[in-house]
Structure 1
Amino acid sequence: MTDDHRFQINPGRDAYTAGRDLNLNVRLSDEGESRPPPDQLPLDVPAFTGRERELSRLAELAATGGSVVVTAIDGTAGVGKTALAVHAAHRCHADFPDGRLYVDLGGHSEGAGPADPADVLDGFLRDLGFASEKISSRSADRTKLFRSALAKRRMIVLLDNAASEEQVRPLLPGSGSSLVIITSRNSLAGLEIGADTRITLDVLDEDQAVEMLAVIAGRDRTAKEPAAASEIVRLCDLLPLALSIAGRVLATHPAWPLERLAERLRDERHRLDELEVGDRAVRAAFAISYAKGAEAPTRMFRLLGLHPGPDVTASAAAALTDVDERSAARTLDALARAHLLREETPGRFRMHDLLRLFAREQAEQDESAESRDAATRRLFAYYRDVAFSIYDRWEAARTGSEDTAAAAAEALSVFDEERMNLVRVALLAATDDPATLWDIAQAIEMPLSVTRRFTDILELFKQVADSADKAGNPRLVLTAVRAIAAAYHDTWSPNLAVEGFERALAVARTARDETAEQGIQNDLGLAYRLRGDLDAAIECFQEAERIATRTRDQAALARAYGNLAQTHRMLGRLGEALRFERKALRLFRRLRERRDEALALSSLAQIHMGFGEYKAGRECCEKALIIFRRLGDRHNEALAHHTMANLYLVQDREAEARQSFRKAIEILDDTDPFLAQQVRVVATQLDP
């Protein structure tokens, strides 16, 4: 056989040539020898869906002439980085007549480690027509030759699955008009490219995800079961890899209704087992990223699988992993750069649901039961402290012992950020640590009520009632039953509210707890009033007044006065209403109960309106609005705007009435949509 060097195969290019035609390894004697330009792009994805914004951006970059454009696409495992890069390259390949180079750099692949840039350059140069004797053994010389070659060409260079900046830099052209597309699970933050050429992929939106499932599984099937299709894509976390696998599972089981797969995916314990088909598996994709991490990030990652809430801060992660907060912050940043977490708002990190399931699996495999229990106890203690802090700040705002606006704003800001974490941690603690459930639930009951989070209240306090009953704690059972009944009252369910408060009243009387009884009498009166039984409501409020007078509970007495005032007003007894409300207002001011003071002022505004004293009514409303805003009590702020609108309306000041109605509706759309619609009906009757 001839020993002509043109037919010799280079044995040192396995990392580059795997899966490619052997004829691409034929060495040419001269760069200038005639040969077709390389066209190495993988097969385009037939079911490619969505990513219009990213494709548009890549098209803009591809259209840039006269200079090298380098773009980096990063994102978590399975989010579709390679699919996007390949699809975009196919769409614009005609604009790059000198060829398309492709290489899988092996940054996150099973088996062999990342490809050596020197080997990649050797392959690229041969594909560009360079003979072996012109290719130096030194990596730096190969980079120079590669850059010289691309300076005279307009090509696409797709560097897929990069491990690091160091691996990529030698493969970048220095001049010319080529387009380089890099994909990586890491953010490659050290790469010297502009922010406008970086693309970070997240999961698809739900419509795009359903479309992707339809393309793979069949449009007739998703159209026949739209609810099941939507549930499947949500259980797949909208992750393209998971969606692709789910679609192929359905495609290989044409007799399955979509509901069957949805049912199998609902079980969190086996969801990752279901997301496997052929040689593709979500778990395997995640495992590669996990295995390549350093010790501290991988430990934090798996322990975060024990966290039940939607996001985590450095302080919470520090408690969970038992490290200092600065170290925790650095580790969270490292996980975010590897796209195992995402920083959605500054300092708050979120993990995709499927990644969380995988992390929990790793914690169960790699952490002892004692280690997991200790981490969970630290997490419970941390969030208990957060709940107590919110409660303290809220109490300071409620009583005016500190600057009301600042205290309320701080309490509600922390509460808004941590609400779901607090609720999920409390529910997790229900079985093994009921004291944590009880502490957190009671600490955040008032902020939950003020922000109208009644679903959370019902879920939390039903658990509190059950666990307190098992623990033989009747006082806590009473607290929970009252909270549940109050939530029913505030969600327009008066019969359930009456039933709950009557149960609470029986418990209080059995325990001979007069303090609780007078409070429940007020609550029960409100439920009767909502049901339309005003006489029964008056009886409850009068009994509350008698008990509060006997026990000298001034705050309870003031609430009884206020409730009597509002009920007398509804019965048309304006004189009695005015007398009771003024007594209530004096007591609330003396006690520095700011929220109750504002409620009394709102009630006085309605009473003044009944007397035709419109200016006095507006003045009361304005004072109430100031307090509600300072406290962050948006719902009662909306009700005060509604009262103000009615005050304007009875004076035929329709423009001002419309403005106040609009302010009320804007808030009520968030806090009470049912009431918002009622107010909207009245507001739309005004002339434009």
Structure 2
Amino acid sequence: MLREHRLRAGLTQEGLAERAGVSTHAISTLESGKRQPRPSSVTRLATAFELDPAQREQLIAAARRGVGRSSDPAVRVDGEEALPVAAVVPRMLPFAAPDFTGRSGEVDHLVALAADQDGLPGGTVVISAIDGMAGVGKTTLAVQVCHALAERFPDGQLFVDLHGFTPGKTPLDPSAALAVLLRAVGVGDDRIPSTVEERAQSWRSELAYRRVLLVLDNAVDAAQVRPLIPAGRGSLVLVTSRRRMPALAGATALSLAVLGQDEAVELFTRIVGPERVAGHPQELAEIVTACGLLPLAIRIAAARLAHRPAWTPVHLLARLRRQHRPLTELSVQDQSVDAAFAMSYHALAPEQRRLFALAALHPGDAFTVDAFAALTDLPPADAEDLLDELHDHHLLTEHLPGRFTFHDLIRQFAVERLAEDVTEADREAASDRLLTWYLHTSAAASRVLNPSRRHVCLDSSEQAWRVLDFPGYDDALAWLETEGTNLLAAAAQATRTGRHEIGWKLPITMWDLFHSRSQFEGRVDCNESALVSARALGDLEATAWVLNILSGAYQAADRQAEAADCLLQALEIRSRLGDVHGQASCLINLGYVHIELGRAAEAVGMLERALGIFRDTGRRSGEAAAHTNLGEAHMRLGNLATALDHHREALTIHLEVSDQFRIGRERANLAEILCRLGRLDEAAEQATLAHAANRDSGNRLDEAIALNILGQVHAADGRRSLAEQNWRHAHAILTDLGSPRAAEVGARLGTPG
């Protein structure tokens, strides 16, 4: 208080000494906290500061604290008797790890909190709640920062392990923790009250005029922490916990993530020594990756290497890779990654533990509340509450709003718990629910995107799988694109686990996604896996379905010969089944492949045969598709007038049925033919209409194609600047979609790729 009043008054020690009539040495000694002043000195100092009555009483009360509690003899300072300070100054900080690495941003943040205290009201306590998953280095960071800040808190540094997640320990209740803290500041057992409320009051009173640094480590929740917060002037409290603490009022949250790759490598190197890892940069990078960049795992792996002189980084990496249970390798003496995770796991309620383990069944990288609800058979609201709880415990990560994922090592832990703590029947039922939910939801999106095409039949007798409702094209496509990798993983899991009905149908429902993202990674593998399921069922119709979509995947991958072979097989099956519509569909697709193979003349015969079938059976959508491909074939053959007629017929049909998806595409086809015919005004009109229709329907691929053609029309009309504007827009869309057509447009702009 003396130092704060002096600084607030803008006085040096010499200036205060002159004003108060107390020696400079005496003031220096009193500010150091080594001695307690005589009352007469306090009176002179209060007068020198011109304190108001309340401030004067606070200063006098602070000087009186502890008088009579010490048996130390009085000493004299500059001729004036001064009593020894009775208050204990605790120095309880644990050992700071000499190999502490990285965390510069977090360290700066915590140091800044301490620095900011000088501008806060005198009674303000600054609280920072440091949370993070087990083994991420919360305590190490807190201790490191506290050692750096210790000198700013001359009244003491306290550290209490609250045992919130300590193996074999019961969390320390607030009453016991307060007793520890009171003893640490010199309160004898005979003066420690019996109730938690009285102890909390005594604790706040003891720290009312002290500036301390308090670390409450390993807290279980905010309720455990609240009674321990002091009310002293300018104290800093750091709380560490595996749980987030939104209920701790006034606390600044700091969620600690795993280390960056470079920091992880540096930590490993500092522990084992640079000479042990020299010449092994690749192995070192893979070791820390296998440790999930988790500091505890890295420390354990490094310690194992450091204490095995015969080992090399290559040997350690091999051990990490070949372990049937990788977490068992990350254990040394009393430290274990598995045990650290287990404490977080057992802090959950039994049903929460079961549902956490079930989450390991999800085949993808990240999952939503709705997917988790289907997996666990919970209402979405309950599923969201549980995910929030797991997130608060740092057992799940939420990288994007509403999308949850595991840290790699926690996923391994969850897989082990799944095998040991959940029955096989529960596992199978959960997988059935999840995969069926993905199938039905993907099918719902597909029907919104392309209502006129043929869709697979799903078993409506299944329970309502809480299938998502897609209000429009954009919503359906956005869901498919966002969930695309999960859908691929779900389809693969269905085939792998013998759920072949889902295994072949799910890729069929993804056709519209594959069409809009023709280069979608994993498309070929997904459809080949679907073929395995269809053939495993011995279902000829399913096999024909899958061969048809697999041909599209091969076409997108520029494997035209394999695409043609798939369609010939599908055509043969449809013929055996007597499915004339199926045969016509195969012929349309086979005709298009022949066009791409440079055999447009052969394609015309196939396409006219398909057109005849669809005309005879009244399938107008089939007729339109045949006209579209015939228009493409005749354009390749140079029969532009005939091509124009076919595209006009196709557009007429699409307009009849209001198929907005295909109207935009067909207008783009017309624009291209009209441009080639030199009818530029008509071409510009159709291209403009095509662009608008495709943009409105969300068909980005054909929107880009329309822009490309519009650019060609403007270029032919001598408006190069306007042409390039359209091409740049088209190129951006095609590049974003990963379409090979981006190269064609880029060539027009002189842009590689």
Bin the TM-score by the shorter chain. 0.7 to 0.9
Query: What is the aligned partner in structure 2 of residue 426 from structure 1?
Result: 491
Counterpart contact for 1:497–1:527, Cα < 8 Å: yes
CA 498–392 in structure 1, closer or farther in 2 if over 3 Å, else same? closer
Deviation at 1:366, TM superposition (A): 2.0
Instruction: Return the letter of the residue paired with 1:56.
Output: D
CA apart distance, 1:144: 3.2
Closer/same/farther in 2, CA of residues 102 and 29 from structure 1, 3 Å limit: farther
Secondary structure of residue in 1 paired with 2:361? coil
The one-letter amino acid paired with 1:360 is: V
1:39-71 residue CA offsets vs partner (Å, 9 max, x unmatched)? 333333444444333233222212112432101
Cα deviation 1:446-501 (Å, max 9, x = unaligned): 23332346334323221221122122112212222222221121233334434433
Matches of 2:423 and 2:249, distance apart in 1: 43
Give the direction of change, closer, same or farther, for the CA distance of 1:496–1:205 in structure 2 (3 Å limit). Answer: farther
Secondary structure, aligned partner of 2:93 = coil
User: Which secondary structure state, in structure 2, belongs to the residue aligned with residue 64 of structure 1?
Assistant: helix
Structure 2 residue aligned with 1:637: 703
- Whether 2:438 is the aligned partner of 1:383: answer yes
Give deviations 1:20-57, integer Å, cap 9, x for gaps: xxxxxxx9768954899433333334444443332332
Q: Give the corresponding residue for 1:102.
A: 159
Distance in structure 2 (CA, Å) of the matches to 1:634 and 1:214: 49
Q: Which residue of 320, 330, 333 corresponds with 2:388? A: 333
CA distance in 2, matches of 1:217, 1:529: 63
Superimposed CA distance per residue, residues 525-579 of structure 1 (whole angstroms, 9 cap, x where no aligned partner): 3334334444444454344445544555432332222122223334443222212
Mapped to 1, the partners of 2:629 and 2:86 lie a distance apart of: 95
Contact kept in structure 2, 1:106 and 1:114, CA below 8 Å: yes
Equivalent of residue 146 in structure 2, options 86, 89, 102 = 89
Corresponding residue pairs, total: 654
Cα–Cα, structure 1 residues 261 and 441, in superposed 2: closer, same or farther, change >3 Å? farther
Corresponding residue of 1:464: 530
SS of corresponding position for 2:472: helix
Q: Which of 500, 506, 513 is matched with 2:566 structurally?
A: 500
Q: Does structure 1 retain, via aligned residues, the 8 Å contact 2:518–2:739?
A: no
CA change 1:558–1:179 in 2 (3 A) is same
In 1, the alpha carbon distance for the partners of 2:607 and 2:314 equals: 53
**Partner residue of 1:357?**
412
2:654 corresponding residue in structure 1: 588
Partner residue in 2 for 1:120: 177
Q: What SS does structure 2 have at the residue aligned with 1:305?
A: helix
- Amino acid in structure 2 at the alignment position of 1:59: V
Matched residue, 1:18: none
User: Which residue of the partner structure matches residue 281 of structure 1?
Assistant: 336
Q: 1:279 to 1:133 in 2, by over 3 A?
A: closer
The reply on whether 1:368 has 2:423 as its aligned counterpart is yes
How far the C-alpha of 1:102 sits from its partner, in A, is 1.5
> 1:130-279 residue pairs with structure 2 within 5 A?
130-194=187-251, 197-216=252-271, 224=279, 228-252=283-307, 264-265=319-320, 269-279=324-334
Residue of structure 2 in register with 1:77 after alignment: 134
Partner Cα separation in structure 2 for residue 376 and residue 112 of structure 1: 36
8 Å Cα contact 2:210-2:232 kept in structure 1: no
Change (3 A) 1:529 1:350: same
Q: Which is worse superposed, 260-269 or 203-212?
A: 260-269
Q: Distance in 2 between matches of 1:397 and 1:69?
A: 63
Indicate conservation of the 8 Å contact 1:121/1:146, yes or no. yes
Please list every run of 5 or more consecutive structure 2 residues that lacks an aligned counterpart in the other structure.
1-68, 73-82, 119-123, 455-468
Q: Against the structure 1 CA distance between its residues 450 and 206, is the aligned structure 2 distance closer, same or farther, given a 3 Å change threshold?
A: farther
CA contact (8 A) 2:481 2:513 kept: no
Q: 1:111 aligns with which of 168, 178, 195?
A: 168
Partner SS, residue 349 of structure 1: strand
Q: Which residue of 2 aligns with 1:412?
A: 477
Amino acid of the structure 1 residue aligned with 2:343: I
Partner of 1:54: 106
| Shift in alpha-carbon separation, 1:660–1:338, aligned structure 2, 3 A | same
**Matches of 1:259 and 1:647, distance apart in 2:** 61
Scaled by the length of structure 1, the TM-score of the pair is 0.85
User: CA 1:406/1:251 → structure 2, altered by over 3 Å: closer, same or farther?
Assistant: same
Q: Secondary structure at the match of 1:71?
A: strand
Decide whether the 8 Å contact of 1:96 with 1:154 is kept in 2.
Answer: yes
CA 1:531–1:41 in structure 2 vs 1: closer, same or farther (change >3 Å)? farther
Rounded Cα–Cα distance in structure 1 between residues aligned with 2:484 and 2:345: 30
User: SS of the residue aligned with 2:127?
Assistant: strand
Shift of 1:288: 0.6
Corresponding residue for residue 510 of structure 2: 444
Report how far residue 677 of structure 1 moved. Answer: 4.5
Contact 1:40–1:100, Cα closer than 8 Å, also in 2: yes
1:669–1:471 distance in 2 versus 1, CA, 3 Å: same
* Cα distance in 1 between the residues matched to 2:144 and 2:743: 47
Matched, 1:41 2:93: yes
Q: Shift of the alpha carbon at 1:167?
A: 1.6
Contact 2:136 2:256 in 1 (8 A): yes
Partner of 1:666: 732
SS of the aligned residue for 1:63 comes to helix
Alpha-carbon separation, structure 2, partners of 1:70 and 1:566: 70
1:681–1:264 CA distance, 2 compared to 1 (3 A): farther
Per the alignment, residue 307 of structure 1 pairs with 362
**Bigger Rg, which one:** 2
Q: CA deviation at 1:258?
A: 5.1
Normalising by structure 2, report the TM-score: 0.78
Match of 1:485 among 551, 555, 566: 551
Q: CA, structure 1 residues 550+82, in 2 after alignment: closer, same or farther (shift >3 Å)?
A: same
Residues 579 and 393 (structure 1), Cα distance of their counterparts in 2 relative to 1, 3 Å cut: closer
- CA, structure 1 residues 656+368, in 2 after alignment: closer, same or farther (shift >3 Å)? same
Q: How large is the RMSD of aligned CA atoms in angstroms?
A: 3.3
- Relative distance call for 1:95 and 1:375 in structure 2 (3 A) is same
1:368-411 C-alpha deviation (Å, 9 max, x unpaired): 22232233333333333323322332344889xxxx99521232
Alpha-carbon separation, structure 1, partners of 2:312 and 2:747: 43
Contact 1:398–1:595, Cα closer than 8 Å, also in 2: no
Answer yes or no: is the 8 Å Cα contact 1:405–1:631 preserved in 2.
no
Q: Which range moves more in the overlay, 159-168 or 645-654? A: 645-654
Where 1:159 maps in the other structure, the secondary structure is: strand
Higher relative contact order (CA 8 A, sep 6+): 1
Q: Distance in 1 between matches of 2:323 and 2:734?
A: 36
CA contact (8 A) 2:217 2:239 kept: yes
- Secondary structure (helix, strand or coil) at the match of 2:207 reads helix
Write the deviation string for residues 163-211 of structure 1: whole angstroms up to 9, x where unpaired: 12122112212131121111101112211125xx111223344444444
Q: C-alpha separation between the residues in 1 aligned to 2:741 and 2:288?
A: 34
Cα drift, residue 255 of structure 1: 6.1
Native 8 Å contact 2:547 2:567 kept in 1:
yes
> Which shows bigger deviation, 463-472 or 43-52?
43-52
Does the C-alpha gap of structure 1 residues 505 and 32 become closer, same or farther in structure 2, counting only changes over 3 Å? farther
CA offsets 1:642-672 (integer angstroms, 9 cap, x no match): 2222223333433323332222232222212
